[in-house]
Structure formats: C-alpha cells, structure tokens
Chain A
C-alpha cells in the first residue's frame, strides 16, 4: 500500500480534472433543464473549438488570446445553431430522441474533425499558466489546475446565482418545470432557450480548451470524454448544480487517488461509470418508493 506522500501529488491533479468535469456537467445540466436536451455532443463541440484554436495559433499565427476566445465562442455559436435548427424540430419529442439526435451531431462533428485535422499530426495546446508550478507539501501544483478548479467553482456558483436572480434565469427554471405554462405566461420561450443553448455552448468551448490542455487534444478522446463528464450530471439526476459539482470533484479525486494503488490502478477509469450506475440505481429506488407512497395517499 502506498504512503500518504504517494497519494498527495494526485490530489491537485484529481481536483483539476474534477473542476473541468464540473464545468462540463454544469453546462449539460443547465441546457437539459431549460430545453430538455441532454447534449451528448458537448465534448465534440469543445474538441472542435480547441482544434480551431490550435489552427489559429499554429497555422494562421493569430495571438493565442484571440484563439482561446474564438474557441469558447465557437462552442456557443455551434451549440446555438444546432439548437435553432434541430432543437426546434425536435422540441415536442421525447428527451430520449433529443439526446439521441445529439449523438448524431457528435458523430458528424467527429467525422469532420478527423477529416480536417488528421491524426498524423500531433497537436497540443499549452496555456500560459502551464509552466508555473509551485509545490504544496509533496504535491506540485500549476496554475492551470488552479484555474480549472476555480473555474469549476465560479461557473457552478455563477450559474446557480444566474438561474435564481436574473429574469432570464428564472424563465429558464420555469421552462424546466413546465414549458407549456411558461409559454402561456408570456415568457419568450424561444429567446430563453436560445440563451440556454448559447450559454451552455460557451461552457462547452471553455471545457474543451481546458481539457485540451489538461488531458489531450485528440478529436476522438475529447468527443468521448463526454461519457466521463456525463456521470457527474447523472449522479445529480440532471437537476442539481451543486450535486453535479460535488460529484465531478469526487470522480476526479477517486479516479486519481486510485492511481498509485497498483492492484487496481488499471481499473481506475471505471470510477465514473461505477459511481454513476450506483447513484442512478439508488436514486431510482428512492423515486419509486416515493411514487408508491404518493399512490397510497
């Protein structure tokens, strides 16, 4: 069994990963609550944004700052476009159909990315905060990790406040509860939904950029990392932002803290799946129970 000093370095790594998962999870949950769409192309959109930023920096020699902004904006615009076309076409359908359609978008984008950014070329994005490590106990920490965690916290808190305080946020929450009634009340449903699509897309772009730096800048890796981030949102049953954040942090931490334990290190990537499955089955049991009680009353 490894000692505490072996585990320590993995704490900041795990927290940083958790921060980005939280960022993605919050983006997915907000969109799901406002529009009923679980965007499984979240990772693909972020990946394409990051690849565009890479091309801007390395091919067109655009200043890095502008490229990063372009990456985040691309996430917003691409998600908004999808929402305007397919979000509307599928508005009346089952959440399952809406989610399945985003799988189509993910595949389409994956194909286009592999076409435009072939894998013969090794790519990477290095944020200026990368090479600024400081040590903390036995762990070295860099500022990108701090940003990842901080961004995760700020976005979770910020989004929660936004949903509570602002008019459009309140409208989003109302939409989540009942679309028909909200529309009857005179809320401009389409505009609110557009805001949700765009905002969630911005988060996809930001998460893509951070993941490209912290994990990888490979189209397939970033596209399917959505399965990881999804588990945090699932544990929160696609509702609570706080639970999404906590779950994401726990997933990032557990996944990394298992690493030094040689006997199970190869299975550490099962962490999010196992946690999500357990949580879902547990919660659904609770739900059925309360349903039954409601029935008795």
Chain B
C-alpha cells in the first residue's frame, strides 16, 4: 500500500520538478533584470523626472492572443515596458501604471469573459495594448456599451468599423492593399493573393480585389490551412497561379510567411514572380533567415518605419526602453513591439492629458478618445483616435539579411479605391488631422 502511494506521488512529482527546473532554467535569468530604476534616469518616458512613482496605481487592461503557433503578447509586453519606464520617471503625476494582461486562446466564450473580468471585476480604467484575433469581433459591442475606447493593434474587420476601437496598425486588409498596389506598380501581369483559411478571408481580400480591378490586373485568391502548411507546396501553387510576369501577395503571420518563402527558396522560385507581402514579413529575422538570395526580391508593405535606418528620437527611445525594460518581449525589435511601444505612448499621453488628475473609466476613456496629432517617426502621418488613422506607410525589402527601405519609395498612401480609406481621407481633410 505504502509503496503504491509512493509511486503514485513520486512519478508526477519528479516530472513536475523536471519541467519546473527546465522552465526556470530557461526563463529565470530573464526575470532577474528587475532592478532598473537607476538605469532609467534620463529617459524621456512620460514626465521624465527620474523619480519613481509611488502613488495609487492606475490599472490599464489588455487582452492578447497566446496559443501554440500564434502569440501576440509582445505587443502588450512592450506597452508594459514603456509603462515601467514611465513609472520610473514620475508615472502619471506620481501614480504608477499597472498593466492587467489577460491572454486568450481564440476561445470566444473565454474572451467575452476576459473583457468582463477586466472591466467589471478588475475595474481597469482603460484598455490599451490589446492584440487578439477575435477580440474586436467578440467584444467591440460590449466595449461600446461600457463606454470604453480601446487602443489596440487590430486584426478583425470590427476593429476598423467600431467607434469604440482605435488601432495603431492597418490590419491584414489595408496592408494587403499596399502590397497589391506595390505589385501593380511593379507591372505585375497577374496577382496571386494567398492567405490563411480563417474567418475574414473575404474581408482581407476585399480591398485588393477592387484595386486590381481598377488597374485592370487579373487577381486570383488562394487560401492555405496555416495550421498544417507545407511551404514548398504553397509556394509552387502560388507561382503557378501568378504565372510568368505575375506577382504573389502573401498575407500570413511571420512563421507561416517564412515557411512559404523558404519553400520558394528551396525550389529556386524567388525569381519566377514578383513577391510581395503584408506587414508581418517586415522583420530582420525573416530577412536573415532568407539570406542574400532574396536581396531586393520581396517587397513588404511596412506599417511601421524601420528602426535600423531611422534614428529619430522616438526610435532611439524605443530601442532603449526595449533594452532596459523589455526582457519579456521575445521577438525583440520588429513591427509587433513597435505597435506595443506606440500603444504605451498613446495611453500615457492620454492619461497625462487628464487635467482633473482623477483617473476613472470616464475620464480615461474620454482622454483616449480625444487623442490626436500624435507625431512619431514610426509613422508617416500623425496619429489620431479613429477607425484607420494609419493609412499611409512604407515599403521595405530584404538586403543582405536586413530589411531596408526601398529607395525612393517614400510614404505609400493606401489606395482610396478601398471605400474605408476614401472615407477616412475625407474625414482627415475635413478635420485637418
């Protein structure tokens, strides 16, 4: 009996110890970088006083997808890195910001619960730094009902149509528009547009369809089961669909895009067509993994400016904050952490603008809604609270293992053939933003 009991306990305990040990061994050293109060002096985060904020905390919520294969927590983690820097520099007039991050595994029921937890139980005063595949679809009505104005990196269609949401990015549709525009500008005879077979495919391709039609370029739409993709198969399929002199537009997350491009490389297909890609391809990691064989052969629509070439004050601060506070931003420099940084800055700007210095959901969300004319060297144009404030962006391509701006490409305005872009530009013109 006793021996039986021993086995029953010993095996799982031993295994748990191994798992815990491995995990701590791997994550332990990254946690030790907690004492950064001294190093932060002189960083222009928030008030930039160099004094640690000790007042009553201000709770800011965020929801991000984190599941096997898809993990967007770099965005809230980078926002939080900026919050930490602000807290070490006077906070919000002495109040430190505390992030309340909930992760989601693309489970609509749990996601609805997450939003309720943030607003009704944890009593966050605002939501900033979210990035989730289905958050807007599931929760935007609830956010509107609760009068929350969410700052986020959006994906689903509802992020760009709900008055309660303001994204810092363009999301798959408008970035794909940009990639399609680039393909057309490079005289593609035909376009093969490939994306993941998840809900929203028609939405994602909608703009490109109109743009290609307006330019009289035939376009064919393909989908892949991203959970189970063979890069070579997908690449060959795309090249066949595009045909000689054609172009391929890729709308995938970085790992899947990399798989396809490497598949193309295996088969020597990099010269067969013009390759273009939406924002996720804009990472140095991808450029490094692809190598010099892809020099100037993959045109990427980039929603955020490159860090390696642009050393504007904002980019410098971003890199410093990432280095000092971003130990859990696993992806490092890249569009995702740039989104997060920008979201952190916007939230702080909003909070600092509250004249009453009373931080309730009412004041904070009013301040978020009132955000406008935020200038940063990450973006071509100043940012304001609206459905698609980021609608003019950059074009980059790989060069010797790094992404570089395509020379003379400048800022690319997303085509007003796409109805929402037309609407937004009219609004911007009318309101001089």
Contacts and interface: CB of A to CB of B under 8 A. Distances in A.
Interface residues of A, number: 47
Interface in B13-30: 15, 19, 22-23, 26-27
A237 to B, nearest CB: 25
Given A215-B230, A218-B68, A266-B197, A140 B268 contact: yes
Interface string A1-37: 0100010011001001100000000000000000000
A120 B71 contact: yes
B223 interface: yes
Contacts of A111: 19
Given A108-B15, A266-B223, A130 B258 contact: no
Contact of A259 (B68, B233, B268, B269): B233
A209 to B, nearest CB: 15
Contact of A119 (B70, B230, B259): B70
Given A119-B69, A269-B228, A131 B258 contact: no
B155 to A, nearest CB: 16
B225 to A, nearest CB: 6
Contact of A216 (B229, B236, B285): B229
Given A124-B262, A130-B262, A259-B233, A112 B22 contact: yes
Contacts of B73: 118, 120
A144 B71 CA distance: 30
A216 B74 contact: no
A259 B236 contact: yes
A265 interface: yes
B186 interface: no
B229 A122 contact: no
A13 B233 contact: yes
A32 to B, nearest CB: 23
A256 interface: yes
Interface of B: 11, 15, 19, 22-23, 26-27, 66-74, 197, 223, 225, 227-233, 236-237, 240, 254-255, 258-259, 262, 265-269, 283, 285-286, 289, 291, 293, 329-331, 336
Contact of A142 (B72, B197, B267, B336): B267
Contacts of B330: 118, 120-121
A116 B23 contact: yes
A250 interface: no
Contacts of B262: 124, 126, 130
Contact of B69 (A145, A221, A269): A221
A10 B236 contact: yes
B145 to A, nearest CB: 32
A220 B22 CA distance: 19
Contacts of B267: 9, 13, 133, 140-142
Contacts of B72: 120
A120 B336 contact: yes
Interface in A88-139: 89, 108, 110-112, 114-116, 118-124, 126, 130-131, 133, 135
B52 to A, nearest CB: 29
B236 A215 contact: no
A219 B237 CA distance: 25
B286 A122 contact: yes
A135 B268 CA distance: 9
Given A216-B229, A260-B240, A122 B23 contact: no
Nearest to A5: B240
A218 B283 contact: no
A18 to B, nearest CB: 12
A214 interface: yes
B255 to A, nearest CB: 5
Contacts of B259: 124, 215-216
Q: Which of A6, A9, A130, A266 has the most CB of B within 10 A?
A: A9
Given A121-B285, A121-B331, 16 more contacts: A9-B267, A112-B23, A119-B66, A120-B336, A122-B289, A122-B331, A123-B255, A140-B268, A142-B267, A142-B268, A215-B231, A216-B231, A216-B255, A220-B227, A259-B233, A265-B237
Contacts of A220: 68-69, 227
Given A119-B68, A119-B71, A140-B269, A214 B15 contact: no
Given A119-B68, A215-B259, A13 B22 contact: no
Nearest to B237: A259
B225 A114 contact: no
A264 to B, nearest CB: 13
